[in-house]
Every structure is written in C-alpha cells, then in structure tokens.
Amino acid sequence: MVELAPVSIFGKLNHYDLYGGGSVKRWFRRIGICVLVFGVVVAFNSCGAVEGFTYNDAKDQFIAWLLTQEVEEHAIGQYLGQVSVGDVVSSITPIPLPDQEPEQDSGPLPERGWLFYVDEWPGSYYNHPGKIYVVSETGRVLFERNTQGWPVVNGDKPESTKRSFRDMISDNRMTIYNPNNIRVGLQLAEFPDLIPRFIRTGAVVVNGLIPSESLNTESSGIHVQMGKAMRDLLGTLNLVRSVTYPNNKPADVKAEIQYLVDSYSVNYIILYFNAHGGDKRMNIGGLSFSAIVLRNWLEEFSNVEFILIFDTCHAGIWADFFGGLIDRPANLHMVIASTGADQGAYPDWDEAEGETDYNAEEDTWVEFSSDFLLMMAHYTSDTFWPSVEALTNPAFDNNILKLFYLSFQAVKNEDLLLTARLNRQTPQIWYPE
C-alpha cells in the first residue's frame, strides 16, 4: 500500500528553492553542491543503516543521488509515497521493444521505505526514460532501476499519480525537484467553436489510454476537445465517432471506420490518435497497434481518402514510416505528428526555464493538439477562411488539406509550443509532393 506522506522542509526553504529555481544552469548547480552530494552519498550508502532515519533524510538522499546521475536536462524528481514490507515495486512500459528483456521488479521489499521517481521527460506520454529509487527507513537503497514506463506498486499506480500532470507538478509535497520551474496553468472551461466547413467527411477520434495509465486525465480532456472541434468543423454529430475506454481497442477503431463507410457513405476520414507510443506502434486500449496494421487498413478501405494525426510519444516515427513506404497507399494524403521520432509528446506546459508559453491562457491539456485546434478555429473563422481557399499547392487539392497544413505551420512557425522552444518537441508533417 502506497501513502503520500506529509513533506516537511528545511525551515521555510523547500527543495525546489534549494536546488535551483529556473534561473541556475544545471552544470553550475552540480559544481556548487558537489561537496554536499559526496557527503550525503557516502553517509547513506557507505555506512549502512542509519538510526533515526526520517523521510527528510530519504528525500535528501534521493536528490543527492539524482544529482550524480546522467539525466535529461528537464528532469524532475517526485516523491510517490511510502512502501510497506512485502510490496513489489516495478514499472509498466506500454510499448516494450520486441527484443527487450522484461524490466526487473524489486521483489518483495524487506523493509518499509519511500518511493521516488525521476521523470526525465516530465509529463510526456510513454515510452520515455525515467528512474525509480526506493529508500528504506534505515537508509538502505532497496531498489534502483532505469525504466521506460511509469512506476507501479503491486501492479497498480501509486495513489499520488492518479491525477493530472498539472496537479502533480504543482504539488510541492510530490514534486520535490523541479530546477527548470516547469509549471502548468489552469485548464479552460470553454474552447473556441469552429465554423462548419465540410460535408461527407468523417472523423474517428481515438483516446487510446485506459484509466490505469499515466496521463489519462490529459488524454480524456483533449479527447473531448478534439471531438467537439471535429463536430463543429464537419457540422454533424453522426460523422464524428468517439473511441475511448472501455471500447478503445484496435478492433473498435476499425469498426468505427466501417460504420462511417457503411452508414453514411463517407469518402474522407480524419483519423486522430492520442496514445502512448513507441517504435512504429502505439498502445490502444491496452493492446499493441502497429504501423503495418494501419497501413493494411488504409489499403482495405481503398475508396476512402485519409488524413492521419498522431499525438503520441515518438509520433514522428509514423510520419517517417508512411513517408518512406515504396508501396504507400494512394489514399493517404497527409500525416501529422506532434513530435519527432525520438522525442516525447507533452501535456500543457505554461512555464519552464524562465520561458512562458505564448498562449498560456488559451491552450490546455496537451501541448500540440490543443494549439493545433486553436489554429483550426483561427483559420475556419470568416476572417481567415479566405486564406485557406487561396492557398495554392499541387499537393492540396481540397480545403481540408489546406486547413490542416496552415494550422500545422502556424503552430510550428509561431513557436506556439513551449516544449518546442525548449527543444523537447518538434512537430512533423508529411504529404506526397
């Protein structure tokens, strides 16, 4: 059983203040505290059990250890709660590599202790790098492991992690190391309406997450927003199909495509995916879904034109895959990916490293998808719709492609993604030229 314990601080100074704020460079921090790191690591790891070892001691030990590790520049450190004797600490990686050895678990813990986690791509969809660290009440390191997934105790997420990234990073009892001052603002209650522009066009909006997975709150939020935007854009309810838990397995996605074709003779479909992703595959409803299977679907529905949008970790792999196919399906006209092949896809970041999101008061839930929707609302307005119709490019023979292209370029060229400005996320687009 994991319980989030109260976090005390040194007088009135918390660990965030002690280890940097957003204005001190990482290398300088390491130099400035090298003596402290050495002393703490030696004291706790060389001398055996420590009498009267407290949570504050464990937190000090964790941060000192973190500062000795080679971690991503934007890493944060989190306290996830207490662990009991017999608990098993491990992680869940949604997209294991085919030749990857299963990540080892801790085995039954011999002592009570505290569970810590280093999130190297803070808040990003998985797979992405992190580190698990468990310290006992005697100061002994019970478990230390690199991981590509999220931590679990006895197969379940700690209670402290069953909420939004915003709530977790703003809770200084939980996020105890945040040197780059990553902050997330309040979520919007309302999202701009889009003006209907298209007919006989359908959309399948997929939230691939299940409630037990990290970022389920963000995925559910952006799923609602994307569904509303597509219904506005297409001017109909029936032609926008929602795929979400518990009916969000790959077969459910295909069934909705089939429904649009059979029931409404739809000849143009926008497929949007928000999910955890890896190497040419994503996790949909707890099942692996590969790029090859999706390619086969496109070939099977050869009389339907497709646009694919991926907001997943490593989404650029999908653009690379389809763009690199020699026998690419002729009915695929555009692939939009929220991030590069070797990058994460992030929830809403409003502040980090002293930088502020340019539209912090407008975007919400997920960085790319939210900004993309905002630009769609911009270009479908009466004021700017003429610029969509006026776009001349041989690759774009209809206004849907023009709208998506302009919306994508605006997100990218206007630096609307804070994560992109910080070199964490690089959106990609592919279309046949």
- CATH number, domain of 369, equals 3.40.50.1460
In a domain, 48, yes or no: yes
Band (25; pLDDT cuts 50, 70, 90): very low
Is the same domain home to 224 and 257?
yes
pLDDT over 90 at 352, yes or no: yes
Pair 244, 169 in one domain = no
| Whether residue 423 sits in one domain with residue 335 | yes
- Which residues span the domain enclosing 340? 201-430
Most confident region among 9-13, 17-21, 75-79 by mean pLDDT = 75-79
Percent of the chain surpassing pLDDT 70: 84
Same domain for 333 and 212, yes or no, is yes
How confident is residue 310, by pLDDT bands cut at 50, 70 and 90?
very high
Could you give the CA distance from residue 61 to residue 89 in angstroms, rounded to a whole number?
A: 19
Domain presence at residue 9: no
Would you say the C-alpha torsion 193, 197, 198, 199 has a positive or negative sign? positive
What confidence tier does 52 reach under pLDDT thresholds 50, 70, 90?
confident
How much is the mean pLDDT over the chain? 87
Q: In terms of domains, do 171 and 205 share one? A: no
Place of tokens 């003429």: 386
pLDDT exceeds cutoff 70 at 144? yes
The domain boundary, picked from 108, 142, 177, lies at 177
Range 327-340 average pLDDT? 96
The beta strands (E) that lie in 175-277 are given as 175-177, 201-207, 240-243, 268-277
Domain assignment of residue 182, yes or no: no
How many whole angstroms separate alpha carbon 359 and alpha carbon 376? 15
Q: Are residues 56 and 153 in the same domain?
A: yes
Q: What is the pLDDT of residue 9?
A: 27
- Tell me the percentage of the chain whose pLDDT exceeds 90: 74
Give domain status of residue 282, yes or no.
yes
Identify the band that residue 192 occupies on the pLDDT scale cut at 50, 70 and 90.
confident
Domain final residue pick, 177, 209, 232: 177
Assess whether pLDDT exceeds 50 at residue 36: no
Domain assignment of residue 327, yes or no:
yes
pLDDT in tens, 89-130: 999 999 877 666 677 899 999 999 999 999 999 999 999 999
Say how far residue 383 (Cα) sits from the centre of its chain.
33
208 and 96 in one domain? no
Strands (E), 18-154: 76-83, 89-92, 113-119, 130-136, 141-147, 150-153
Looking at the domain assignment, is residue 185 inside a domain?
A: no
Tokens representing residue 274 in the block: 């928000």
- Greatest pairwise CA separation for the chain in angstroms: 74
- CA 83/CA 404 separation, integer angstroms: 48
Among the listed residues 227, 427, 248, the one whose alpha carbon sits nearest the alpha carbon of residue 343: 427
pTM flag (> 0.85): no
381 and 253 within one domain: yes
Q: Is residue 295 part of a domain?
A: yes
What number is the average pLDDT over the span 162-167?
Answer: 91
> Residue 169: CA atoms inside 13 Å, Cβ hemisphere, count?
28
Split into its structural domains, the chain has a count of: 2
Domain end marker among 126, 142, 177: 177
Whether 189 maps to a domain, the answer reads no
| Mean pLDDT across 177-184 | 90
Claim to verify: residue 218 and residue 109 sit in the same structural domain: no
- The whole-angstrom separation of Cα 36 and Cα 17 is 16
Question: Is pLDDT of 412 > 70?
Answer: yes
Same structural domain for residues 270 and 129?
no
Same domain, 306 and 158: no
Same domain? For 303 and 402 the reply is: yes
